[in-house]
Chains A and B, each alone.
Chain A
Amino acid sequence: MSVKPLTIDGMSTEFTEWLRSQSDDRLRALVSVRPELITPVPAHLEGLAGRACSPSAVGRALDRLDRFTLAVMETLVVLGAPVPYRSLRAQLARALPGTAGPAFQSALKEAVERLRTMALVYGPDRALAPAPGVREVLDGPAGLGPPAEEAFRHHSAERLAELVQDIGGGDGDTREALAALLGDPEIVGRLVEEVSPQARSALNELAWGPASGRVPNARREVRAAGAQSPIEQLLSRALLAATGEETVVLPREVALFLRDGRIHRDLSPLPPATGGTERDQRLADRTAAGQAFTFTRAVEELCERWSVDPPGVLRGGGLAVRDLKRVATLLDLPEWVAGLIIEVCYAAGLVAASGAVDGEWMPTPGYDGWRVKATEDRWAMLAGAWLTMDRVPGVIGERDERDRLLNALHPDLRRAAAAEVRATTLAMLASTPGVAPTLDAVRARLAWEQPRRRGGQRDQLVEFTLREAEQIGVTGLGLLSGHGRALLPETLDGPGVSGDPGGGRVASAARLLLPLLPEPLDHVLLQADLTAVAPGPLTGDLRRWLALAAEVESTGGATVYRFDERSIRRALDAGQGAEEMLAMLERHSTTPVPQPLSYLVTDVARRHGRMRVGTASAYVRCDDSSLLDEVMADKRAIPLRLRRLAPTVIASKSSRPTLVDSLRAMGYAPAAESLDGDVIITQLDVHRTESTLAARAPVTFGGPEADVVAAAVRAVRAGDAAHQARRAPVAAPGGQVPRSPATSTIVALREAIRQGSQVWIGYLDSQGNATSRILEPARMEGGYLTAYDETRAAVHRFALHRITGIADIA
């Protein structure tokens, strides 16, 4: 039973009707797993069907299939015509290494259901058919060559007649005739018997794919009787088809015969077992939490350093190698980890370039918000950013294809697949609780889960993901941690989730992390060697105070601080008093404050501030103090903010020129002094970028949110109902469509697509005649508009540049 579907724009109406007959629930499920179908939301079901069958959409859908489901799809494509479920089952069962057990039965049911949900397969169980477009995308399913009808496309009628005659089929010079002969296993069996053993082994080489091979002079037109070499024997019997001067292909029918009726050689309904080391999940969680803590602190340390000492932006973008090394030294970490930290900061919007040209890398105002959050929230933000960023820190230091060095923060660090590989890799870890799989096991598993997405780059990304996850604390000892798991969507293509870990998942990850983090302490151990050891993370106040009054000597699970003269002085400078500091020490120490430490504090305080230094931008000095008395008493001098430092010196906060000018205006005759006398106190500038924008919107993976899905389906349904109601051509309104500029035309069309509304356009047809149409625009891309033309009652494509004007329908 061959179906020749009627098509509009290459789209099967049968498929459209099937889609229309699906319940809203099923449509929602469809667009949840294939979110690209509703971006933008199509106007009606025909639009949806059309989009679902487009090569790119089909390709993306197929990419999501695991090896078994893909095999089911391939089988349906090979079988061609709609087949009943049991035929499909029988066909697949042949490829199983053992007998078809219950695991296979349920896996197959699930696979068919999944394909149907994804609208890659349609029709009831008694007649399952691949959706339109799948066949074209799935070129060479299961390593099979094209069917004979296609394989012999380049053969002339004479040659076809010769072949038909030679394989004993009598008359006929069409490809159909040849295909019919090759479709008969008996005939093919006889032909294979006839050829020499060498020829047979050549056939077997091609049987399991790849189906094409190279031979010199493939187009030689030998007859069976005159065939000498093995290749000639095969070519003359139509067991091989020439597809080019030097290429031959094994026709699908012949391959199926050689495969003994099987389409796949061996098939497993279950993914390969993942080997690895068994580990205790609790220990893994603890380790990951420890790492999460360390990572978060490293980020803070980096941002603090860049606050006061921001590195420059390279001319080509990115961060200089030397600056990366500096960060690695600062954090005492290998360079790749330093690169990871920098990139995660960037992705989380904590650092950015202050300007495109001659800018510097520095924390954003967003960092200030991040800094004051609790550790678990800070971590969750970072981990979320890492998970969804499209940049790959792992390639920092490598060279690109043009042999240019890839720097950290360089624009070329983006890889489209990065976020998706991270998510899939972690999802794979989630499926092996208690076992830390090896890198090879992860790769093998991913190859099974996404057989169509393979390659060196993905393998590398998987490796990066595993080692980065460990550094960030998403995994611990190779196991996905509880808090890391919380960041992942429920299922990668399930409904109701979005790739960007929104507030909900970040918050729940933070919640899970919290109990694993060491409780903040409010005490330290003070020692006579002037150190303070904080045996764990400190509460915010105490931490900030110690950072002020002592130098950090070592970090890790604990923090070691050292007090010295400089650090005490720094605290005094910040307005702390000796009494206050001693009280602080006493309050936060479980043991008495060591005498040398309290002595140090009082001793430094004793000397502190005996000498005073202030800021003044100009001064007035005069040996005649009465003259200065006069100036001080003058009301006009108030805005100059003068201060008498000594009988003969006045300091001012105004600049020297202002002061000179003002004094002159007041009737004095001051002389400006050279710059040597000028006191300018510089302050440590803390830098921030101006923009609050995060580095980039993160890439999304997984499906869209449930409410988005529901709204989209509702819109499609409604649009479709309206669309269905009006099938007959409608007359366009009389008169000319007012002309409108191209930009507003596009805006109006986009709006109409979004709303699913109709528009009235003026259009120059291909003959240059001005026409007037009523359209229901569906899609706009590549300079063309696809729309349902009410005036012609058909879907057409319109060149955007020929639309002369647009107006709403009154």
Chain B
Amino acid sequence: MTDGPLIVQSDKTLLLEVDHEKAGECRKAIAPFAELERAPEHVHTYRITPLALWNARAAGHDAEQVIDALIAHSRYPVPHALLVDVAETMSRYGRLRLEKHLVHGLVLTSTDRAVLEEVLRSKKIQPLLGERLGDDGVAVHPSERGNIKQHLLKLGWPAEDMAGYVDGEHHPIALTEDGWELRTYQREAAEAFWHGGSGVVVLPCGAGKTIVGAAAMAQAKATTLILVTNTVSAHQWKQELLKRTSLTEDEIGEYTGTKKEIRPVTIATYQVMTTRRQGVYRHLELFDARDWGLVVYDEVHLLPAPIFRMTADLQARRRVGLTATLVREDGREGDVFSLIGPKRYDAPWREMENQGWIAPADCVEVRVTLTDAERLAYAMAESEERYRFCATTPSKTRVTEALVRQHPGEQVLVIGQYIDQLDELGEHLNAPVIKGETKVKERERLFQAFRDREIQVLVVSKVANFSIDLPEAAVAIQVSGTFGSRQEEAQRLGRVLRPKANGGGARFYSVVSRDTVDQDFAAHRQRFLAEQGYAYQIIDADDVLAGE
């Protein structure tokens, strides 16, 4: 027994005690081959997966290093079987390689004939292949470059893609570092990607992933297609690129539900790309609209399945994925690995926090107790009506008022889902309400007033979440919401939880009805936020009301 900070679990998770004096050193050693899964206050959980190990291989680490790191930092003996498994898994990467051949175009070669024979017997692989070239190689249809990588990964023999990239249409792009400069890790990330050819950069929320994208574009100096999650981020990307690069308004096109511009740098949303009419993807031509030199995927962990299929055909173009986490709720991490590329960069989360690039915010859950009459009504409500019922209970209004009163002089956003509730809140708080029907002009006016501190409290519906520039607020109060995927929800919360311009922490309240489905949703959110390292506490509405 040593006093290392790391504990290896039998399910291949690694527990890192963060308060240990050697935690930083250990984190550096294990980060290349283990994915951070949870980061609550005392013990962070990493997981060793085959993909993580292959990522490490792609980044030039070998099994010996991985095993040394585990043994050196582990507090207890590392099970021998796990070490053997690590070595075995890592040795699988790169036995097969995709290479460019002068005569045959694309070929699959192997240093291990037995492996090649094994994969050639696979029924899924066979149709992707051309003629056999001697003992150690086989031609591959160039159009199947993505497919074959996907299938080989599924067979457990990930291929190293050495076939190179097309340069694409040249377009001058440069960073304009006036009054700001690329942070060290951002530069490192862009360079790591460029050297790797294609791949994914993993940075925590708020670490400036857009700028890494911009830096990558400046490296490529070619026409670029940027795929983002929604219109809001499309706008943000555009703003950032105008601010950070030599690109002008005319050079950046938006390809969204409303605008269809194709320019040297085009920003498209996943949504528009995956829109189908009569079973046909209408906007596929965008991929062929220009000779793109670079494709940027924002929030890779949210990349929808059709985009993967489209990406399979783009293997000759450079691709960079940006994300905060490689963990996908649909388990398609393998496709990210084979189609976009291995992880190229991963920033030390802890270090970034220490440097103040990201700041945690306080989350407070306020529990409201339903009255007896409400409880009876809730119990009798139809199941689809239940959430609406408990989310809009009048008690919430009183608590929200009290909360607003507790933050005098601070900018407060009240966020909700149901218009009736919002209107009522607006009335009680004497604050303007922004909802779907609010005109854009009016919306912008209110936002500006809020920013200028002319208005202190703003009530916004979910529509405002997608709004182009939801202003910063010191306090956000969520009274109701839709709770789909945990990941998506937290992503949204993450936007509100950004560190503020004045450097102070933000406060985020969720008002929740006790003993209802509202509380069940809250439990998910609590777990996610706590795992992300945000401080979280639960208080009773009565305490809020009594505290006045």
Using CB atoms and an 8 Å cutoff, list the residues of chain A in contact with chain B. 283, 286-291, 294, 332, 470, 476-477, 516, 518-519, 525-531, 533, 535-536, 554-558, 560, 591, 594-596, 599, 603, 607
Q: Point out the residues of chain A lying under 8 angstroms from B17, CB to CB.
A: 525, 535
Bound complex: CA A528 to CA B11 (Å): 22
Bound complex: CA A287 to CA B11 (Å): 17
What 18 new A-B contacts, CB under 8 Å, besides A518-B1, A530-B526, A591-B42? A287-B77, A287-B78, A289-B77, A519-B1, A525-B17, A525-B42, A526-B42, A527-B41, A533-B43, A536-B7, A536-B75, A536-B76, A555-B10, A556-B11, A556-B13, A560-B45, A595-B538, A607-B515
Q: Are A527 and B42 in contact (CB under 8 A)?
A: yes
Nearest-CB residue, chain A, relative to B520 = A565
Give the shortest distance, in Å, between B48 (CB) and chain A (any CB): 12
Nearest-CB residue, chain A, relative to B536 = A528
Q: Point out the residues of chain A lying under 8 angstroms from B43, CB to CB.
A: 525, 527, 531, 533, 535
Q: Point out the residues of chain B lying under 8 angstroms from A594, CB to CB.
A: 41, 536
Q: Which of A291, A556, A599 contacts B8 (CB 8 A)?
A: A556
Nearest-CB residue, chain A, relative to B532 = A529
Q: Point out the residues of chain B lying under 8 angstroms from A518, CB to CB.
A: 1, 75-76
- B485 contacts A by Cβ under 8 Å: no
| Of B1, B77, B80, B515, most A-chain CB atoms within 10 Å | B77
- B535 contacts A by Cβ under 8 Å: yes
Interface of B is mostly: mixed
Q: Which of B7, B11, B76, B530 contacts A529 (CB 8 A)?
A: B530
Contacts A291-B77, A530-B527 given: A595-B537 contact, CB under 8 Å?
Answer: yes
Q: Are B15 and A560 in contact (CB under 8 A)?
A: yes
Give the shortest distance, in Å, between A590 (CB) and chain B (any CB): 9
Bound complex: CA A286 to CA B15 (Å): 19
| 10 cross-chain CB contacts under 8 A | A289-B77, A527-B530, A529-B527, A531-B40, A533-B43, A535-B17, A536-B7, A554-B9, A555-B9, A557-B76
Mark contacts of B321-346 with chain A using CB atoms, 8 A cut-off: 1 yes-contact digit, 0 otherwise: 00000000000000000000000000
Q: Are B535 and A529 in contact (CB under 8 A)?
A: no
Q: Which of A289, A332, A528 contacts B40 (CB 8 A)?
A: A528
Q: Are A558 and B41 in contact (CB under 8 A)?
A: no
Q: Which of A286, A291, A554 contacts B1 (CB 8 A)?
A: A286
Bound complex: CA A535 to CA B535 (Å): 22
- B386 contacts A by Cβ under 8 Å: no
Q: Which of A289, A294, A476 contacts B10 (CB 8 A)?
A: A294
Q: Are B536 and A596 in contact (CB under 8 A)?
A: yes
Give the shortest distance, in Å, between B21 (CB) and chain A (any CB): 15
Q: Are A560 and B10 in contact (CB under 8 A)?
A: no
Q: Are B75 and A535 in contact (CB under 8 A)?
A: yes
Mark contacts of B511-535 with chain A using CB atoms, 8 A cut-off: 1 yes-contact digit, 0 otherwise: 0001100000000001100110001
Q: Point out the residues of chain B lying under 8 angstroms from A555, CB to CB.
A: 9-11
- Interface residues contributed by chain B, number (CB under 8 Å): 33
Contacts A290-B76, A556-B9 given: A535-B15 contact, CB under 8 Å?
Answer: yes
Bound complex: CA A291 to CA B10 (Å): 11
Q: Are B80 and A291 in contact (CB under 8 A)?
A: yes
- B462 contacts A by Cβ under 8 Å: no
Nearest-CB residue, chain A, relative to B535 = A528
Give the shortest distance, in Å, between A520 (CB) and chain B (any CB): 12
Q: Which of A477, A596, A607 contacts B526 (CB 8 A)?
A: A596
Q: Point out the residues of chain A lying under 8 angstroms from B515, CB to CB.
A: 607
Q: Which of B29-65 contact A (CB under 8 A)?
A: 38, 40-43, 45
Nearest 3 interchain pairs by C-beta: A556-B9, A290-B77, A529-B530
- B79 contacts A by Cβ under 8 Å: yes
Bound complex: CA A516 to CA B1 (Å): 7
- B400 contacts A by Cβ under 8 Å: no
- B147 contacts A by Cβ under 8 Å: no
Nearest-CB residue, chain B, relative to A559 = B9
Bound complex: CA A533 to CA B75 (Å): 14
Q: Which of B8, B75, B79, B530 contacts A528 (CB 8 A)?
A: B530
Q: Point out the residues of chain A lying under 8 angstroms from B38, CB to CB.
A: 529
Give the shortest distance, in Å, between B527 (CB) and chain A (any CB): 5
Q: Are A535 and B79 in contact (CB under 8 A)?
A: no
Bound complex: CA A595 to CA B530 (Å): 12
Q: Are A596 and B538 in contact (CB under 8 A)?
A: yes
Q: Point out the residues of chain A lying under 8 angstroms from B365, CB to CB.
A: 596
Q: Are A527 and B9 in contact (CB under 8 A)?
A: no
Bound complex: CA A607 to CA B78 (Å): 44
- B74 contacts A by Cβ under 8 Å: yes
